């Protein structure tokens, strides 16, 4: 983060003097409100010094105070230091009331102001660090796992509780919901974290090879068995064995796995020796195991053995408000990885993300964002860029209403800031009447002050 200060000052002499006072900063300047807002958007300064007497009416503080409000509405974390005339305490106090960090009276002692600005920056940095910590805490309850919905936070809590135990754990969830990610998290939080995490995908290996993959084989066990080879179970000794797609395990191997879970010994293919192995077994499947049991495709006794604790991972469509959080995080990651400049989601993209069903869950979401980041040429990713349609947004009327209400209430506040608190002017800006403005303010419980003339 570059140290940047915006100096809003219409006196060219003073502007120059201040430029030299802030040697550690990149200094950008503006002479009036429009210039200040343009610079704010462009450079995102952490600190602003703001002369309250700005054109077109440098004799009064009204333009300065309006500028202050607009700055804080756009960038509420900015530390604004207000510079006032030497006997203008009243406006100085008003500025503090509006959210300025400090006021400073003319004539300006550049050296002293330099020290104050350094302090302001230190404070800004501390607060920013704090904001980041809070953000991270909320979004990443466990390392690398993004979760904000009550549904997923509950899953994370369960994983945390189960991790220190030796209980076999069964993760159930649709494809792409994060089963493998959570299995790894469980391992990392367990006393076996220093041991290996060995994943084997029962659906990806042909039945004929699966047995030797899992249990290993002795030299000469079958044609081509040139040397003794240990299997995944043995390889995971001291650590965690992750049986992915356990529902696809063929029945004969289910029996052999059951025996291992009961006796905690294995026999390699072609061997007779019983080898004790110490592993924690975590399994996952997207299949409906109970149904599979009914159909005779899965052993009921094994089901209970592998699922001492069963954790259901909800699909995205059941996680309240999480789709757009996941999307923003993947966007940030892709921008970093692909070294793209600033790139954001358009409003219709966010709406589409929140209303889409995500049958492929987190994996689909990550892929769509990645593809959009690669293909988008402008500064914004639209719903179309994500190859999502926007016409199904009506399927979530509640959500959409909230979006509308939020947009409306923030438009009211912005207009009011633009108009320096003048309700008639603010209503004009929005193309509505004063009574409508008041009615809407009441509806959204906005505090618009008593200055409505
Ligand atoms: N909550 C999450 N936060 C961040 N990344 C996630 C989250 N959930 C899943 N992912 C990412 O999404 C992708 C899919 O997750 P994972 O492979 O764990 O899902 P899965 O349930 O095992 O899927 P499948 O059933 O298709 O094997 C991975 O790249 C994973 O890192
Ligand atoms: Mg998986």
Q: Render pLDDT for 260-297 as a digit per residue (tens, 0 to 9).
A: 999 999 999 999 999 999 999 999 999 999 999 999 99
Looking at ligand 1, which atom is closest to the CA of residue 147?
1
Contact 40, 72 (CB under 8 A): no
Question: Is domain 319-395 annotated with CATH 1.10.8.60?
Answer: yes
The Å distance, Cα 363 to ligand 1 centre, comes to 6
- Reading the block at residue 248, the tokens are 């696809």
State yes or no: pLDDT of 34 exceeds 90.
yes
In whole angstroms, give the CA distance from residue 105 to residue 90. Answer: 12
- Place 397 in a pLDDT band, splitting at 50, 70 and 90: very low
Alpha helices in 99-250, H assignment, sequence order: 110-139, 150-162, 179-188, 207-215, 232-235
3-state DSSP call for residue 10?
A: coil
Query: Of 422 and 304, which is predicted with more confidence?
Result: 304
Segment 121-127 mean pLDDT: 91
Query: Of 342 and 66, which is predicted with more confidence?
Result: 66
Alpha helices in 22-80, H assignment, sequence order: 33-43, 62-74
**What pLDDT, on a 0 to 100 scale, did the predictor assign at position 243?**
97
In whole angstroms, give the CA distance from residue 426 to residue 287. Answer: 57
Element (H, E) at 153: helix 150-162
- Place 406 in a pLDDT band, splitting at 50, 70 and 90: confident
The Å distance, Cα 396 to ligand 1 centre, comes to 26
**What pLDDT, on a 0 to 100 scale, did the predictor assign at position 148?**
84
* Beta carbons within 10 angstroms of residue 23's beta carbon: 8
The Å distance, Cα 289 to ligand 2 centre, comes to 16
In whole angstroms, give the CA distance from residue 71 to residue 360. Answer: 42
Residue with tokens 């940047």: 4
Protein residues with CB under 6 Å of any ligand 1 atom: 145-147, 173, 175-181, 286, 362-363, 366
Q: Determine what percent of the chain is predicted with pLDDT higher than 90.
A: 62
Query: Of 384 and 143, which is predicted with more confidence?
Result: 384
Task: Write out pLDDT tens, residues 414-446.
Answer: 788 777 778 898 899 888 999 999 999 888 877
**What pLDDT, on a 0 to 100 scale, did the predictor assign at position 188?**
93
> On the CB side of 87, how many CA atoms lie within 13 Å of its CA?
0
State yes or no: pLDDT of 17 exceeds 50.
yes
Q: Which residues of 162-197 are buried (b: 16+ CB within 10 A; e: fewer)?
A: bbeeeebbbbbbbebbbbbbbbbbbbebbebeebbb
The Å distance, Cα 178 to ligand 2 centre, comes to 7
Looking at ligand 1, which atom is closest to the CA of residue 284?
22
The Å distance, Cα 363 to ligand 2 centre, comes to 10
What residues does each domain of the chain span? Answer: 4-137, 150-314, 319-395, 397-443
State yes or no: pLDDT of 360 exceeds 90.
yes
Contact 316, 362 (CB under 8 A): yes
- Name the pTM for this structure: 0.61
Q: Nearest 5 degrees, angle CA 411-CA 412-CA 415?
A: 80
In angstroms, the first-to-last Cα distance of the chain is 43
**What pLDDT, on a 0 to 100 scale, did the predictor assign at position 249?**
96
Among all bound ligands, the one having the nearest atom to the CA of 323 is 1
**What pLDDT, on a 0 to 100 scale, did the predictor assign at position 394?**
44
Looking at ligand 1, which atom is closest to the CA of residue 366?
12
Task: Write out pLDDT tens, residues 208-267.
Answer: 899 999 999 999 988 888 899 999 999 999 999 999 999 999 999 999 999 999 999 999
List the beta strands (DSSP E) in 44-196.
Answer: 47-51, 79-84, 102-105, 169-172
Give every CB contact of residue 399 below 8 A, 6+ residues apart in sequence. Answer: 354, 355
- Place 391 in a pLDDT band, splitting at 50, 70 and 90: low
- Reading the block at residue 378, the tokens are 């402008």
The per-residue pLDDT of the chain, averaged, comes to 89
**What pLDDT, on a 0 to 100 scale, did the predictor assign at position 134?**
62
In whole angstroms, give the CA distance from residue 74 to residue 44. Answer: 10
State yes or no: pLDDT of 44 exceeds 50.
yes
Contact 266, 221 (CB under 8 A): no
Looking at ligand 1, which atom is closest to the CA of residue 145?
3
Q: Tell me the residues surrounding ligand 2 (ion) with CB < 5 Å.
A: 180
**What pLDDT, on a 0 to 100 scale, did the predictor assign at position 133?**
67
Among residues 308, 249, 282, 257, which one has the least CA distance to residue 171?
Answer: 282
For domain 150-314, give the CATH number.
3.40.50.300
* Beta carbons within 10 angstroms of residue 383's beta carbon: 23
Give every CB contact of residue 31 below 8 A, 6+ residues apart in sequence. Answer: 8, 9, 10, 15, 54, 55
Task: Write out pLDDT tens, residues 125-170.
Answer: 988 887 776 655 555 667 789 998 889 999 999 999 999 999 999 9
State yes or no: pLDDT of 395 exceeds 80.
no
Write the class of the CATH domain 4-137: alpha beta
Which fold would CATH assign to domain 397-443? Answer: Arc Repressor Mutant, subunit A (1.10.10)
In whole angstroms, give the CA distance from residue 442 to residue 73. Answer: 20
């Amino acid at each position: 983060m570059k140290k940047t200060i915006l100096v809003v000052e219409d006196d060219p002499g003073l502007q120059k003097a201040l430029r030299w006072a802030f040697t550690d900063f990149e200094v950008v300047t503006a002479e009036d409100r429009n210039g200040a807002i343009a610079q704010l958007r462009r450079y995102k300064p952490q600190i602003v010094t703001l002369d309250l007497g700005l054109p077109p009416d440098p004799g009064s503080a009204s333009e300065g105070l309006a500028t202050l409000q607009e700055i804080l509405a756009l960038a509420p974390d900015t530390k604004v230091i207000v510079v006032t005339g030497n006997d203008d305490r009243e406006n100085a106090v008003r500025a503090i009331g509006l959210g300025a960090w400090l006021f400073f009276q003319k004539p300006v002692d550049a050296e002293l102001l330099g020290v104050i600005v350094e302090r302001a920056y230190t404070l800004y940095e501390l607060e920013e660090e704090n904001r980041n910590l809070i953000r991270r805490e909320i979004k990443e309850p466990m390392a690398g796992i993004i979760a904000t919905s009550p549904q997923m936070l509950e899953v994370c809590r369960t994983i945390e509780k189960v991790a220190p135990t030796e209980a076999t754990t069964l993760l159930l969830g649709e494809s792409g919901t994060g089963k493998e990610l959570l299995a790894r998290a469980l391992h990392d939080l367990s006393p076996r974290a220093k041991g290996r995490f060995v994943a084997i995908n029962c659906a990806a290996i042909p039945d004929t090879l699966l047995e030797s993959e899992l249990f290993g084989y002795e030299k000469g066990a079958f044609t081509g068995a040139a040397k003794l080879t240990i299997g995944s179970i043995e390889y995971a000794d001291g650590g965690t064995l992750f049986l992915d797609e356990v529902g696809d395990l063929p029945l004969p191997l289910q029996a052999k796995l059951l025996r291992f879970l009961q006796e905690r010994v294995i026999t390699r293919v072609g061997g007779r020796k019983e080898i004790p192995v110490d592993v924690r077994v975590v399994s996952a499947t997207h299949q409906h195991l109970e149904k599979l049991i009914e159909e005779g495709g899965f052993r009921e006794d094994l089901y209970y053995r592998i699922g001492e604790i069963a954790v259901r991972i909800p699909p995205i469509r059941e996680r309240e408000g999480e789709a757009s959080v996941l999307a923003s995080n993947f966007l940030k990651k892709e921008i970093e990885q692909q070294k793209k400049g600033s790139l954001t989601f358009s409003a219709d993209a966010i709406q589409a993300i929140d209303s889409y069903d995500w049958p492929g869950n987190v994996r689909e979401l990550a892929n769509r964002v990645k593809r959009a980041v690669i293909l988008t040429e402008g500064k914004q990713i639209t719903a179309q860029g994500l190859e999502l349609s926007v016409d199904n947004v009506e399927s979530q009327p509640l959500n959409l209403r909230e979006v509308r209400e939020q947009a409306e209430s923030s438009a009211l506040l912005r207009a009011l800031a633009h108009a320096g608190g003048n309700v008639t002017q603010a209503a004009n800006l929005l193309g509505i009447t004063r009574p409508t403005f008041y009615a809407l303010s009441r509806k959204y419980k906005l505090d618009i002050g008593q200055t409505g003339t």
